[in-house]
């Protein structure tokens, strides 16, 4: 299998190639490095990449395999790490000029677990400043004049460009689902609290969620299965049994899934191509899909989400502001300053809306297997001065439900349009299984 082929297959397939000896870890790494050499100048997905360090990891992983010991679930798979996750062997700059020389002595918990699963930590991918709105240098692999989205821009673009099969990122508003949709890859935001955030830049603890980017649902399941587990340092991670997402994904649904095609308040901003695409999708699903509009109480979600996010950003990012506000972007400074003006009463009130709105969603999940809705209001907008809007994502981030986006549609220019699926909290495995059913159903229609 040639280098070009190696960069087009998913991690689920690659791990079998490595385990059986048909491909070596070095082969897989060199294919990734060659693809980076071809595409990085135009895409600019990486904040830090040390080829020799990556080769050193590959050598150690090869020696481990040769020793005859059992291999981890991600053995030899190159993985990109959003540059807000601490890595002991690579700098973590948080997309921030004030952290240009920052180096930690310890990995983030999820990075430790990826290494334990045998992942090759390729390097650090570009993030918007402090995982907020100010764009980094990354461009969309489909068209470099268009935004890749954010804040996990480098992770989405690196996977889309074939540089790595998988990457990790975070979502506080729409920072996994939106860039994945813009870049035409699978983005998976698990249930809030499923993955630990110890060693990750803290922006908004009631919203921050770790997730993955990949080219297949199997890879999304592999990644999250490897990272999940109790962490006493993160108060939102409950001591629960491992999710075993891959196992659930590979099962057939017990009955034909039913979808609720939900139009949130963001639907008013959805462009014509996206609206037309979803109309066709709903028609293709026939009696498996019912259209619905959420009650007006859900229109409050963006306001409540913003109050929580900016209040907590003002608190957690204060050290940056105090050290050098003039070195922060206007977007980050404005967010901190607005957050400081939000009253404690309004902040605490906003927190209560998370479970209030979730209770309303539970009624939908009692009748349907998943909510179907756009991942973004359009395909990736032209221009690099903005990462786009999270209007289609904030409700799901606020309520802590799992969400996945699939690159199933495209606009009139051929840019990818993401289809977002949502399920109830802790139904992550069922969500991925339903997503797989939808992929197969549409593929059979086309066939």
Collapsing DSSP states into helix, strand and coil, what is residue 424?
Answer: coil
Range of the structural domain that residue 422 is part of = 259-446
Look at residue 67 and tell me if it is in a domain: yes
Are 228 and 265 members of one domain?
no
Mean pLDDT of 401-407: 98
As a whole number, the mean pLDDT across the chain is 97
Spatial strand order of the sheet with 186-189 comes to 46-49, 120-125, 78-82, 166-171, 209-214, 186-189, 403-410, 416-422, 370-374, 259-263, 289-293
The reply to whether 271 and 182 lie within a common domain is: no
* Residue 254 is assigned to a structural domain of this protein: no
Q: Does the structure show a pLDDT above 70 at 447? A: no
Does 285 reside within a domain? yes
Q: Which residues does 405 contact at the CB level (< 8 Å), separation at least 6?
A: 177, 180, 181, 186, 187, 375, 418, 419, 420, 421
Mean pLDDT in residue range 408-426 = 98
Q: In this structure, are 33 and 180 located in the same domain? A: yes
Residue in 140, 291, 110, 334 with CA at minimum distance from that of residue 210? 110
| Residue 172 falls inside a structural domain | yes
Last residue of a domain, one of 225, 247, 269: 247
Q: Record the pTM.
A: 0.98
SS3 407: strand
| Measured CA angle at 176 (ends 175, 182), to 5 deg | 90
Indicate which residues carry an active-site annotation. Answer: 82, 151, 175
Last residue of a domain, one of 216, 247, 278: 247
- Mean pLDDT, to the nearest integer, of 224-236? 97
* C-alpha torsion angle, residues 374, 150, 357, 231 (rounded to 10): 130
Domain end call among 223, 247, 271: 247
- Is residue 378 very low, low, confident or very high in pLDDT (cuts 50, 70, 90)? very high
Asked if residue 174 and residue 45 are part of one domain, the reply reads: yes
Helix (H) or strand (E) holding 10: none
Are 273 and 281 within 8 A, CB to CB? Answer: no
Cα→Cα distances 138→40, 101, 120, 142, 417, Å: 9, 21, 22, 12, 19
Structure tokens at 423: 């399920």
222 φ/ψ angles, rounded to the nearest 5 degrees:
-55, -45
Judge if 239 and 287 occupy the same domain.
no
Examine the domain organization and report whether 238 and 265 are in the same domain. Answer: no
Q: Count, in order, helices (H) and strands (E) of the chain.
A: 16, 11
> What percent of the chain is modeled with pLDDT above 70?
100
Per-residue b/e over 184-210, b at no fewer than 16 CB within 10 Å? bbbbbbbbbbbbbbbbbbbbbebbbbb
Stretch 308-335: mean pLDDT: 98
Mean pLDDT of 20-31: 96
The arithmetic mean of pLDDT across residues 208-222, rounded, is 98
pLDDT-based confidence at residue 5 (cuts at 50, 70, 90): confident
**What's the pLDDT score for residue 124?**
98
Q: How far is CA 131 from CA 93, 163, 170, 359, 426, in A?
A: 11, 22, 8, 29, 25
Query: Which CATH number do you get for residue 67?
Result: 3.90.1300.10
CB atoms within 10 A of CB 233: 10
Q: DSSP string of 256-310?
A: ---EEEEE-GGGGG--HHHHHHHHHHHHHHGGGEEEEE--GGGGGHHHHHHHHHH
Say whether both 234 and 277 belong to one domain: no
Residues 29 and 98 in one domain: yes
Tell me if 253 sits within 8 A of 369, measured CB to CB.
Answer: yes
Tokens of 41: 């100048």
List, for residues 126-171, the tens digit of each pLDDT value: 999 999 999 999 999 999 999 999 999 999 999 999 999 999 999 9
Residues 369 and 400 in one domain: yes
**Any domain includes 329:** yes
- Residue 212 sits at the vertex; the CA angle it makes with 210 and 215, to the nearest 5 degrees, is 175
Structurally, the chain folds into a number of domains equal to 2
Is there a single domain that holds both residue 55 and residue 192? yes
Number of C-beta neighbours around residue 341 at 10 A: 10
| 275 and 144 together in one domain | no
Q: Which helix (H) or strand (E) holds 178?
A: helix 177-183
- If phi > 0 it is left, if psi is from -120 to 50 it is alpha, else beta; for residue 382 that is beta
Residues 186 and 100 in one domain: yes
DSSP secondary structure letters along 36-65: HHHHHHHH--EEEE-HHHHHHHHHHHHHHH
* 189, 431 contact by CB (below 8 A): no
Q: What is the pLDDT of residues 272-304, one digit of tens each?
A: 999 999 999 999 999 999 999 999 999 999 999
Q: What is the percent of the chain where pLDDT is above 90? A: 97
pLDDT band of 6, cuts 50, 70, 90: confident
- pLDDT for 415: 98
Q: What is the separation of C-alpha 19 from the centre of its chain, rounded to a whole number of angstroms? A: 27
pLDDT of 374 > 90? The answer is: yes
pLDDT digits (tens, 9 = 90+) for 235-269: 999 998 989 999 999 999 999 999 999 999 999 99
Whether residue 1 is predicted with pLDDT greater than 70 in this model: the reply is no
Residue 252 domain flag: no
- Residue 4: pLDDT band (50, 70, 90) is confident
Residue 103 lies in a domain: yes
Residue 240 lies in a domain: yes
């Amino acid at each position: 299998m040639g280098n070009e082929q190696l960069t087009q297959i998913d991690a689920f397939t690659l791990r079998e190639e490595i385990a059986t000896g048909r491909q070596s870890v070095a082969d897989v790494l060199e294919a990734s490095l060659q693809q980076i050499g071809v595409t990085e100048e135009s895409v600019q997905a990486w904040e830090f990449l040390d080829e020799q360090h990556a080769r050193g990891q590959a050598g150690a992983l090869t020696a481990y395999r040769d020793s005859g010991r059992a291999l981890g679930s991600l053995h030899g798979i190159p993985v990109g790490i959003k540059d807000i996750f601490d890595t002991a062997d690579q700098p973590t700059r948080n997309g921030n000029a004030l952290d240009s020389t920052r180096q930690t002595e310890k990995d983030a918990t999820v990075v430790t677990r990826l290494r334990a699963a045998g992942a090759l930590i390729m390097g650090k991918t570009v993030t918007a400043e402090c995982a907020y709105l100010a764009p980094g240098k990354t461009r969309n692999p489909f068209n470099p004049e268009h935004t890749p989205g954010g804040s996990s821009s480098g992770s989405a673009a690196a996977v889309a460009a074939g540089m790595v099969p998988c990457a990790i990122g975070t979502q506080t508003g729409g920072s996994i689902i939106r860039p994945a949709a813009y870049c035409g890859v699978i983005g998976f935001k698990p249930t809030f609290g499923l993955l630990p955030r110890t060693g990750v830049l803290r922006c908004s603890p009631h919203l921050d969620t770790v997730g993955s980017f990949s080219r297949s649902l199997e890879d999304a399941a592999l990644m999250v299965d490897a990272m999940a587990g109790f962490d006493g340092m993160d108060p939102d991670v409950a001591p629960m049994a491992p999710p075993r997402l891959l196992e659930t994904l590979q099962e057939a649904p017990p009955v034909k899934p039913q979808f609720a095609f939900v139009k949130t308040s963001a639907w008013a901003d959805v462009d014509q191509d996206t609206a037309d695409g979803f109309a066709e999708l709903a028609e293709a699903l026939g009696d498996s899909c019912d259209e619905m509009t959420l009650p007006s109480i859900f229109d409050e979600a963006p306001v409540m989400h913003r109050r929580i996010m900016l209040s907590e950003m003002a608190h957690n990012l204060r050290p940056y502001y105090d050290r050098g506000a003039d070195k922060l972007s206007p977007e980050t400074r404005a967010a901190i300053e607005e957050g400081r003006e939000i009253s404690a009463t309004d902040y605490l009130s906003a927190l209560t809306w998370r479970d209030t709105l979730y209770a309303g969603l539970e009624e939908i999940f009692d009748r349907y297997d998943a909510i179907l809705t756009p991942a973004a209001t359009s395909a990736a907008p032209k221009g690099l001065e903005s990462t786009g809007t999270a209007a289609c994502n904030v409700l799901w981030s606020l309520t802590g439900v799992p969400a996945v986006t699939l690159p199933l549609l495209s606009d009139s220019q051929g840019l990818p349009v993401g289809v977002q699926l949502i399920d109830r909290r802790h139904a992550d495995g069922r969500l991925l299984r339903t997503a797989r059913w939808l992929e197969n159903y549409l593929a059979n229609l086309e066939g």
